[in-house]
Amino acid sequence: MLRRHAERQKENEALRKLLSAWRPRSIEVGRDWHATAQPGDLAEGSPERAALEFFVFVRKGNYGGVVRALDPTFLDEDTVNRLAGAFRTRFANTSIDDVRLLRISDTAPAISVVTVRVDGRYHGEQFDQEVDVRLVYGDSDREVLPRGAEGGAWRLFFLPSLPTDPLDDEDV
């Protein structure tokens, strides 16, 4: 019991250090990254990479990847497979042709907003839309962690507002 308490104190101290050291990054698209950057061009474990990976999953029809890119609260009591099927239905008539980075804003130690321009088609009609992708850094147990904490990953907190078909069950 004492060992577990000491481990917890050590973990808490590490989190406190990350929180006190956090500062928003000064990022300028065009200076730090090209607007046409691909996920592999961006830092591993960064919110901007996670945001672009989401759109790659949608583009390729990898709806299991779409579900895993979302915050675990989306799962509730659903399975990844059930939600992947729901997203396959929802995105059936939406295709994404291009995604460009516009802005990246670190708003808190565990929250970043990545703004992108998405070009695509919905039911064959062209759309061109600016989308804010809000991401949260946390673990699989739904614990929010400061950026850089061990065991965390960037995940989408809200679905980006893209033209998609509604579902009968709008829980998703």
Read off the CATH number of the domain in which 83 is found: 3.10.450.50
Whether 118 is covered by a domain: the verdict is yes
Q: Are strands 94-108 and 153-156 parallel, antiparallel or unpaired?
A: unpaired
pLDDT at 14: 74
Q: Would residue 14 count as lying in a domain?
A: no
Q: Poorest-confidence range of 118-127, 134-143, 158-167?
A: 158-167
Residue 37 lies in a domain: yes
Q: Does 6 reside within a domain? A: no
In this prediction the pTM is 0.86
Neighbours of 104 (CB within 10 A): 24
Does residue 85 lie within any of the structural domains? yes
Q: Quick one: pLDDT band at residue 63, thresholds 50, 70, 90? A: very high
167 occurs within a structural domain: no
Write down the pLDDT at residue 125: 95
pLDDT at 20: 78
CA nearest to 157, candidates 133, 139, 141, 140: 133
Per the structure, the complete domain to which residue 92 belongs is given by 27-156
Minimal CA–CA distance to 94: which of 127, 116, 54? 127
Q: Decide if pLDDT at 29 tops 90.
A: no
Domain count, the chain: 1
Question: Closest Cα to residue 29, out of 97, 100, 129?
Answer: 100
Backbone angles phi, psi at 125, to 5 degrees: -90, 135
